[in-house]
């Protein structure tokens, strides 16, 4: 059985259907890329899986259990961590405190203070931020804020990580570094990853499989090379003239 099974997932906002009958599975241990152009429904799918939005229809099964419409905290406690596309750290707390808070609430408070600090230091180390990070979040650039976001998700000790990375705004070296980090998180921590991204290049070298979305619908599932060779995928990314 797959670790996560999404079937017939639909999310409507009023009369607008952002996600339409989306089905895919995530196998334990893989890195799955969930890609598609801006507005194709990637973050909305994450928000449904993570409990921020109740799905309009469909089922989401994690490790054999239906989790659709559970609250975000319960889903986190079941072992699904997520990052947000737009990082919103607690600006009046230090980096270390931000991550320690995630460690505390990610374990539903069933963890000692000293373990929270240890988990926070470990998560900051994993993403390459200073582990004695007592400074605040002011002045952090886009790349560092994304690392902090990842550290906060890791501190909840997920078995499945939903990474809404959006590498937009990072330079090439920073993108490569972010990809390498996800690869290392899978390798060293054994965490299964779904990586949402609309920039294809760097993602394609890291993921095992991709699910491609367009206007809220799945248009392809397969190996990265299948997506790179697919006319419809090329068309939605580059426009119809690219395949003419
Ligand atoms: N809370 C909401 N209310 C109304 N419409 C929404 C809401 N959230 C998302 N949408 C709409 O749903 C569609 C899908 O948005 P979503 O954020 O999932 O796209 P995305 O694939 O993550 O895009 P991007 O690559 O820009 O992050 C968009 O048209 C968006 O405007
Ligand atoms: Mg998004």
List, for residues 173-211, the tens digit of each pLDDT value: 888 888 899 999 999 999 999 999 877 788 888 999 999
Give me ligand 2 centre to Cα 174, in Å.
Answer: 19
Distance CA 64, CA 82 (A): 19
At residue 241 the predicted structure's pLDDT band, cuts being 50, 70 and 90, is: confident
Report how far apart the first and last C-alpha atoms of the chain are (Å, whole number).
41
Residue 244's pLDDT is 64
Range(s) within the chain of domains with CATH label 3.40.50.300: 1-79+158-244
Q: Quick one: which of 126, 197, 198 has its CA closest to 157?
A: 126
* Ligand 1 atom at minimum distance from 40 CA: 21
* DSSP H helices in 35-167: 42-49, 72-77, 95-106, 113-127, 142-154
Eight-state DSSP code of residue 159? S
Query: Quick check: 147 and 165 in contact, CB under 8 A?
Result: no
Note the pLDDT of residue 17. Answer: 98
Tell which residue, 148, 144, 149, 145, has the closest CA to residue 163.
Answer: 149
139 versus 132: the higher-pLDDT residue is 139
**How many Å lie between the centroid of ligand 1 and the Cα of residue 189?**
31
CA distance 77 to 109: 10
Predicted TM-score of the model (pTM): 0.94
Mutating to test ligand 1, I would choose from 17, 34, 41, 86 the residue with most ligand atoms within 8 A of its C-beta, which is: 41
Percent of the chain with pLDDT over 70: 98
Residues in contact with ligand 1 (CB, 6 Å cut-off): 13, 16, 18, 36, 38-44, 85, 166, 198
Atom 5 of ligand 1, nearest CA residue: 13
Please compute the mean of the pLDDT values over residues 238-244 and round it to a whole number.
70
What's the gap in Å between 65 CA and the centre of ligand 2? 26
At residue 133 the predicted structure's pLDDT band, cuts being 50, 70 and 90, is low
Angle between helices 95-106 and 142-154 (to 10 degrees): 30
Would the pLDDT of 19 be above 70?
Answer: yes
- Rounded to the nearest angstrom, the distance between the alpha carbon of 177 and the centre of ligand 2 is 20
Q: Which CATH superfamily is domain 1-79+158-244 in?
A: P-loop containing nucleotide triphosphate hydrolases (3.40.50.300)
d(CA 240, CA 231): 9
With the C-alpha atoms ordered 202, 84, 189, 224, is the resulting torsion angle positive or negative?
negative
pLDDT score, position 154? 97
- Helix/strand/coil (H/E/C) assignment for every residue in 22-68: EEEEECCCCEEEEECCCCCCHHHHHHHHCCCCCCCEEEEEECCEECC
CA atoms of 219 and 13, how far apart (whole Å)? 21
In 3D space, the residue among 204, 198, 121, 191 whose CA is nearest the CA of residue 155 turns out to be 121
CA of 78 to the centre of ligand 1 (A): 26
Structure tokens at 106: 């990610």
Is residue 230 pLDDT above 70, yes or no? yes
């Amino acid at each position: 059985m797959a670790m996560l099974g999404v079937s017939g997932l639909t999310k409507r906002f009023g009369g607008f259907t952002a996600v339409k009958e989306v089905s895919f599975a995530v196998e334990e241990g893989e890195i799955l890329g969930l890609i598609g152009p801006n507005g194709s429904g990637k973050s909305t799918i994450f928000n449904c899986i993570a409990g921020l939005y109740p799905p309009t229809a469909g089922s989401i099964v994690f490790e054999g259990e239906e989790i659709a419409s559970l609250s975000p905290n319960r889903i986190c406690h079941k072992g699904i961590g997520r990052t947000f596309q737009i990082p919103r750290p607690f600006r009046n707390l230090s980096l270390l405190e931000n991550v320690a808070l995630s460690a505390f609430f990610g374990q539903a408070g069933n963890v000692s203070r000293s373990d929270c600090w240890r988990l926070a230091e470990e998560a900051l180390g994993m993403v390459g931020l200073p582990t004695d990070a007592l400074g605040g979040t002011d002045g952090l650039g886009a790349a560092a804020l994304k690392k902090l976001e990842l550290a906060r998700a890791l501190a909840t000790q997920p078995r499945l990580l939903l990474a809404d990375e959006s590498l937009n705004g990072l330079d090439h070296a920073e993108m490569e570094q972010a990809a390498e980090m996800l690869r290392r998180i899978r390798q060293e921590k054994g965490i299964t990853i779904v990586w949402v991204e609309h920039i294809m290049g760097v993602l394609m070298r890291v993921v095992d499989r991709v699910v491609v979305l367009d206007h809220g619908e799945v248009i392809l599932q397969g190996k990265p090379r299948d997506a790179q060779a697919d006319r419809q995928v090329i068309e939605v990314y580059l426009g119809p003239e690219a395949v003419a």
